Structure 1
Amino acid sequence: MSPEGMSRRHILGAAAAGGALAAREARAQNWPERPIQLVIGFLAGGSNDSVARIIAPRLGELLGGTVLVDNRPGASGTIAMVHVARAEPNGYTLALAGASPLSISPHTYASIPYDTSRDFVGVAGVALTPEVICVTPNLGPRNLAELVELGKRRDLTFSSSGNGGLPHLAIELLRRSANIRIIHVPYRGAMPAAVDTISGQVNGIIMDLPPLAPLIREGKLRALAVASERRASLLPDLPTTVEQGFPEVLATNWFGVMAPARTPRPIIERLHRAITEVANSPEIQANFRAQGIEAMTMPTPQAFDDFVKREAERWGVIARAAGARAD
């Protein structure tokens, strides 16, 4: 091809690219023009769902549109993440995701069809909640020391919301730290796991605080510890794992909003400001606290991205040490 032909092709290509960029910027300025889908990877009734439904109405008001919660459960939240990764990067399909699909699943699945750092961009941190260690009331133990004593004499069974997620790794942390044999029994969701623990089909459960809090208050489950450095405001009399001599057993689930990679920066920045304002509002924080959730906001989208990477490093070490697999 002649130099003239090459130049013409380059000019046309540059013009097309420039036109596409201008069109994206124009769409970003008019965003949102239709409902925004906030995709979560777990069933209704869990912490992820609770956080999404608490913030969605107010977030829609601030953005001048509607935010709809879209439950796509399965595979520790990875099914939802695949859906968002493949969505158009236009600000209308977002993920409200937590530790499991963003920082743990890459280490517990042999392969997953997305790369957190490549396929997503962090938008904003939203909230966090600790894991709580509970047993069926007729088991006997009332604290971790008594649980360990029982575990030295017999095998224990503990349920979780599924293989390869945060509760699963929290069980592994307890097993290794206490040097007792715990058989992990995975379920499809928090409530099925809780039901079988209440009935005594399994001895205990480790799960996010929100779905277990009502069951603890009603006496259907006995809480032994919160897996955190400080006590939960919803259960102020429940000692932490640190207080009971197990400082390695720390497991906090956190939630933040991710967008598909290449989402226009003006949309990311606007979302960050709105989400942070929502999470920091007294009304939303009161709703969070009533369910055992606390706000977790960060100054910039990049700060949330960096946080996700640090969490991935920490849980990667734990998953490899435990040999925990989701598949």
Structure 2
Amino acid sequence: MDKHRSPSPAVSTLKRCRTGAIALLAGMLACGTAAWAQAPGVYPSKSIRMVIPFTPGGSADILGRAMGHELTKAWGQSVVPENVAGAGGSIGADRVAKAAGDGYTLLMGHVGTLAITPSLYPKLPYDPVRSFTPIAWVARVPNVLVVHPTLPVTDLPSFIAYAKAHPDQINYSSGGNGSAAHMTMSYLAQQTGVRMQHVPYKGTAPAVNDLVAGQVQALFTGIPAVLAQLKAGQVKALAVSSPQRVAILPQVPTVAEAAVPGFEADQWYGIVGPAGMPKAVVEQLNAQINASLQSPAILERLQSEGAQPMPSSSQVFGELIAKDLERWRKVIQDSGMSL
């Protein structure tokens, strides 16, 4: 037999089939690996959208981006911030409420969006409790009452006295109708019997800018939004809304100690997702957010902004939302305010 003779057609066919089977098996293994990588329980396997329901520059934006940066570092998957402003944060919140509950669309929730707005806008397209899954409380942010340096007041009692002597002559700004800044100043006015004119803006940043420019005389907002202006002497602080003084502004008294006993109106921020999120994903998000809140980088960032980290369970955060819903509903009803 000639050992160099070409293989028979049957042998060639067998070899081709064997080669094809190997290629098919390799393809099946590759597909199986890809499917495993996307299987339930492997989270996160792609980028996450973090909706911030306010304009850039405010406290929600500052804290949302800082937390997104920490989560990106921890997971190796991008947490992409997206500012969706309007209607006191309700437009961004509604977008998240309508998203898939798979953990890839999150909301930097805020006391205004989740606890105040529902009492001001009874026809909201979302329910602050049923439409969302509480994930983690991120931070508590005291509000600070700041005024333009030309306003002839030196402290909170003199501010109240001036406002009473000049009813409707102090214009105060806020990030919009129904925003936390609006409600906090309204709450102060309700408790002290003063009358002032509200000037709403489309976001906190323009509200701060016009205060610095002297177009308005006062603003009661989260410390992070005005800290740079305070340090630069462009505005002056009269009081903070927290039960105790704030470490970053130790010389500024609380509203309660200066003039209105029992007054408290801090802002808070936390992360929620759409309703129906898997428990395992919520637990993983909560654990990583709490871990990030303990990291030196995020602690320094939050504390430098006057924010207090609030690591807790998703249940505790849900209880906070429910409690403040009732609290602000009473404030709004007593004031007769409606939008």
Does TM, scored on the shorter chain, surpass 0.5? yes
8 Å CA contact 1:175–1:181 kept in 2: the answer is yes
Partner SS, residue 205 of structure 1:
strand
- Residues 50/320 of structure 1: CA separation in 2 closer, same or farther (3 Å cut): same
Of 181, 184, 194, 1:180 maps to: 194
8 Å CA contact 1:229–1:242 kept in 2: the answer is yes
Match of 2:203 in 1: 189
Match of 1:38 in 2: 50
8 Å CA contact 1:226–1:241 kept in 2: the answer is yes
8 Å CA contact 1:157–1:184 kept in 2: the answer is yes
Are 2:119 and 1:119 aligned?
Answer: no
Partner SS, residue 146 of structure 2:
strand
Match of 1:138 in 2: 150
Partner SS, residue 125 of structure 1:
strand
Are 2:115 and 1:103 aligned?
Answer: yes
Q: CA–CA distance in 1 between the matches of 2:72 and 2:164?
A: 52
Are 2:274 and 1:234 aligned?
Answer: no
Are 2:276 and 1:252 aligned?
Answer: no
Match of 2:25 in 1: none
Superposed CA RMSD:
1.5
Partner SS, residue 30 of structure 1:
coil
Match of 1:75 in 2: 87
- Can you list the C-alpha shifts for 1:185-213, whole angstroms capped at 9, x where unaligned? 11111121122222222221111111111
Match of 1:307 in 2: 320
Q: Which ranges in structure 2 are unaligned for 5 or more consecutive residues? A: 1-34
Partner SS, residue 130 of structure 2:
helix
The one-letter amino acid of 2:245's match is R
- Residues 268/204 of structure 1: CA separation in 2 closer, same or farther (3 Å cut): same
- Residues 27/252 of structure 1: CA separation in 2 closer, same or farther (3 Å cut): farther
Are 2:213 and 1:199 aligned?
Answer: yes
Of 67, 78, 81, 1:66 maps to: 78
Task: Tell me the TM-score normalised to structure 1 length.
Answer: 0.89
Question: Aligned pair count?
Answer: 301
C-alpha displacement of 1:68: 1.0
Q: CA–CA distance in 2 between the matches of 1:74 and 1:116?
A: 17
Are 2:234 and 1:217 aligned?
Answer: no
Are 2:177 and 1:163 aligned?
Answer: yes
- Can you list the C-alpha shifts for 1:205-260, whole angstroms capped at 9, x where unaligned? 11111111111111111111111111122111111111102134321111111011
Of 288, 291, 309, 1:295 maps to: 309
Partner SS, residue 168 of structure 1:
helix
Q: CA–CA distance in 1 between the matches of 2:242 and 2:159?
A: 18
Q: CA–CA distance in 1 between the matches of 2:263 and 2:175?
A: 18
C-alpha displacement of 1:60: 2.2
8 Å CA contact 1:170–1:249 kept in 2: the answer is no
Structure of larger gyration radius: 2
Q: CA–CA distance in 1 between the matches of 2:219 and 2:50?
A: 29
The one-letter amino acid of 2:327's match is R
8 Å CA contact 1:160–1:187 kept in 2: the answer is yes
Task: Tell me the TM-score normalised to structure 2 length.
Answer: 0.86
8 Å CA contact 1:28–1:264 kept in 2: the answer is no
Q: CA–CA distance in 1 between the matches of 2:171 and 2:219?
A: 8
Q: Which ranges in structure 1 are unaligned for 5 or more consecutive residues? A: 1-22
Are 2:158 and 1:129 aligned?
Answer: no
C-alpha displacement of 1:169: 1.1
Q: CA–CA distance in 2 between the matches of 1:108 and 1:280?
A: 35
- Residues 267/28 of structure 1: CA separation in 2 closer, same or farther (3 Å cut): farther
Are 2:53 and 1:54 aligned?
Answer: no
The one-letter amino acid of 1:315's match is W
8 Å CA contact 2:55–2:205 kept in 1: the answer is no
Partner SS, residue 255 of structure 1:
strand
